[in-house]
Amino acid sequence: MKIITFGEVMLRLSPPGVERFTQADSLTMHFGGTEANVCVSLAQFGFQAAHVTRFPDHALGKAAAGYLRKYGVDTQYVRYGDGRLGLYFLETGAGSRASQIIYDRVDSAFARIIPSDIDWESILRGADWFHWTGITPALSQGAADCLLAGIQTANRLGVPVSADIVYRSNLWQYGRRPQDIMPALTEGCTLVLGSKGLFSDLYNVVGSTFQEAGRAMMKRFPNIRYVTDTKRVSVTASHNQLSAKLFDGHSVYKSRLHDIRPITDRIGTGDAYVAGLIYGLLTFNDLQRAVEFGAAASALKHTIPGDVNLATIAEVETLASGDTSGKLKR
């Protein structure tokens, strides 16, 4: 299977363990971005997965690409140019102390991307899936333009398109509102991850239950075949409960509930769900199994440092089948 993802990749910098920013003497490095996280997961599951992005043309940009390659991502479509590397600083909480992120991604090399940087035709030809999120069109007009071109190309080539329509109000600084931009992008989607609330806010699509809201989305955007979402109960920063559901227009498939503690790293757990679900949809002929696979992948991601999910298929399947024991494997 060949997967294409598109979006910004940031350098993540975190104090060791649960130190506060003011205590730190060093910062641990990871790289991540919601779309690239999905790409790494799918590469780890054995898919051929390429990420499309733009990095600054210096050693840190190259280090970012090296990080993706290390975890199996094809970086041949990465472009290098001016601008900075997007950053985010993550302080990891514990118990009732929340984790905190300080974003520092303004005017990144990715935000300066323009449509002529990307030859979508050659990238998407032969692909089996294209994934994007609501972060990308929030960053710059150029990024939004590139994305629209990518979705339209995917549609023309018959490549299924998924979107995590996440909305972050502190992005969207370039003068457009998500309500102006997101609908045209969502038109081309096969699978949408989002909540009732978001459907209403972004598209004015309303439904009293997830199922009804999903049905309304499918009516408004006829390309959509699947609507999905996760539900998280945050007991403390070290203890969450997670489940997922998938609606195919007929039935809602709900995953088991995962009781997750301790939490090593909560970042990228939503992306791990998306990747697990895509893997499941492309591999199993069984929607229940697909949503279980996605939810279990997400649960396992909570145990792995960094943004990307490095759980193996075997590990995900063990948990998806309900075995939470974590018994030592020799």
Within 2-41, the residues that bind its own copies by CB under 8 A are 13, 16-29
Q: What is the DSSP letter of 21?
A: G
If binding is defined by CB under 8 A, does position 80 make contact with its own copies? no
Among 84, 196, 245, 256, binds its own copies (CB under 8 A): 84
Query: One-letter amino acid identity for 77?
Result: Y
Report if residue 174 touches its own copies, rule: CB under 8 A.
Answer: no
**What is the CA 129 to chain-centroid distance, rounded?**
14
Asked if 71 is part of the footprint of its own copies (rule: CB under 8 A), the reply reads: yes
Cis peptide before 137 (omega within 30 of 0): no
| CA dihedral sign, ordered 176, 124, 64, 316 | positive
Is residue 287 close enough to count as binding its own copies by CB under 8 A?
no
166 scored as a contact of its own copies (CB under 8 A): no
In the block, tokens 């990024």 appear at 143
CB of 88 to its own copies, least distance (A): 9
Identify which of residues 1 and 63 has a Cβ nearer to its own copies in the complex: 63
Determine the straight-line distance between the first and last CA of the chain, rounded to whole angstroms.
31
Name the one range near its own copies by CB under 8 A: 82-90, 137-145, 189-197, 280-288.
82-90
The answer to whether 220 and 200 are in contact (CB under 8 A) is: no
**Stretches 81-89, 129-137, 197-205, 287-295: which one binds its own copies (CB under 8 A)?**
81-89
Give least dist CB 61 to its own copies, A: 10
Q: Report the alpha-carbon distance of residue 72 to residue 310 in Å, rounded.
A: 11
In the complex with its own copies, the residue whose CB is nearer, 22 or 116, is 22
**Looking only at residues 194 through 213 of this chain, which bind its own copies when binding is defined by CB under 8 A?**
none
Interface segment toward its own copies; rule CB under 8 A; list 32-40, 209-217, 243-251, 310-318: 310-318
Position 104, amino acid: D
Does position 321 interact with its own copies (CB under 8 A)? The reply is: no
For 115, the token pair is 């449509």
291 scored as a contact of its own copies (CB under 8 A): no
For residue 223 the two structure tokens come to 């390309």
For residue 276, how many other CB atoms are within 10 A of its CB? 33
> Is position 303 an interface residue for its own copies (rule: CB under 8 A)?
yes
67 is an interface residue for its own copies by CB under 8 A: yes
Q: How far apart are CA 313 and CA 41, in angstroms?
A: 10
Residue 315, strand partner residues: none
Q: Shortest Cβ distance from residue 10 to its own copies (Å)?
A: 13
Minimum distance from CB of 37 to its own copies (Å)?
14
> Which of the stretches 58-66, 131-139, 181-189, 243-251 binds its own copies when contact is defined by CB under 8 A?
58-66
Q: Does 238 bind its own copies (CB under 8 A)?
A: yes
Where would I find the H helices in 140-286? Answer: 141-157, 178-187, 196-203, 210-220, 269-283
- Rounded Cα–Cα distance for residues 163 and 161 (Å): 7
311 near its own copies, rule: CB under 8 A: yes
Q: Give min distance, CB of 15 to its own copies, in A.
A: 9
CB atoms within 10 A of CB 148: 18
283 binds its own copies (CB under 8 A): no
